[in-house]
Amino acid sequence: MPLVSAPTLSWAELPHYSFEYPSPLLNLRWTLGCGQAFRWRETAEGWWVGVVRGCVLRVRSQGDTVEYAAYPHLPDPGFWPDYLRLDFDLEAMYSELGALDPHARASFESWPGLRLLRQDPTETITSFLCTTANSIPRIARAIEGMSVAWGEPIATIDDRSYHGFPTAEVFTEEIIPTLERDCNLGYRAYNLVRAMEQIAAKPPGWANSLRAMPYAEARAELMSVRSIGPKIADCVSLFALDKDEAVPVDTHVRQIALELYLPEITQKSLTTNVYNRIASRFREMFGERAGWAQEYLFFSHLMRHRDTPVL
């Protein structure tokens, strides 16, 4: 653990702020709990508490009012509109894509206000390398364990300690046994370390530079890294790089596609060909917002099968 002291304080002593945003277009529970980010948790009082960009945040909605506090400060003045992608027109998407497909329309009606996030690309890569054949609660525990072990301490707030996300440089061969055992990553630990070693050797800002590339180019760059296959590349593209046409295909999305859109596919395994056919079908139907439609349909399927939320 890094030998850096961190203050002890309470949320009650921190200043709180607020902004207004229509509640039908922003639902924090659906957005922060749908499986695209893993460092948020909901408290009994309805606050969502998480660590983003080295800051501890808590936020909740009361009608159209969004309240929040941050320590040591917000990551930047325009953080919430940027992170929550508040400039994306959900109403237009509901109307236009809902008219194209009744299944998408039903998902929009079931989970109004679910928004895609704009996350840190390196953190998103690291997180989704932990997701292979894994459940959301286990993924969250693994990421929290890594942050406690190798992230910079930020603060202890109301008796809970918070740490920043570990940098790519900490992932070396020496920590593989700890990742396997204490973070319960098993075989994923080796793949994670090998990928992060390659990323650490890239020029500074490499991951952030992918946001300016076209989707196909950014995806190819991601897949040039060991252990990053199509699904992880598409998750990073969609949840961190603003590539809204990216369609991550996992077991849930495969089942959705075979049930609703591609019943002629009979293969039981998710081959590269099947993956590409499913992603292409979503893009044919929903265009440049295919990733948004996928996330709504994915979340609907996840909630119907919440006893086995394996990605």
Bridge partners, residue 66, by sequence: 19, 61
Distance CA 113, CA 116 (A): 10
Measured CA distances, 152 to 2, 6, 79, 146, 207 (Å): 6, 9, 21, 11, 21
Phi-psi map region of 205: left, alpha, beta (phi>0 left; psi -120 to 50 alpha):
left
Distance CA 151, CA 234 (A): 26
DSSP structural state of residue 135: B
Phi-psi map region of 54: left, alpha, beta (phi>0 left; psi -120 to 50 alpha):
left
Pairing verdict, β 160-163 and 55-62: unpaired
**Active site amino acids:** 231
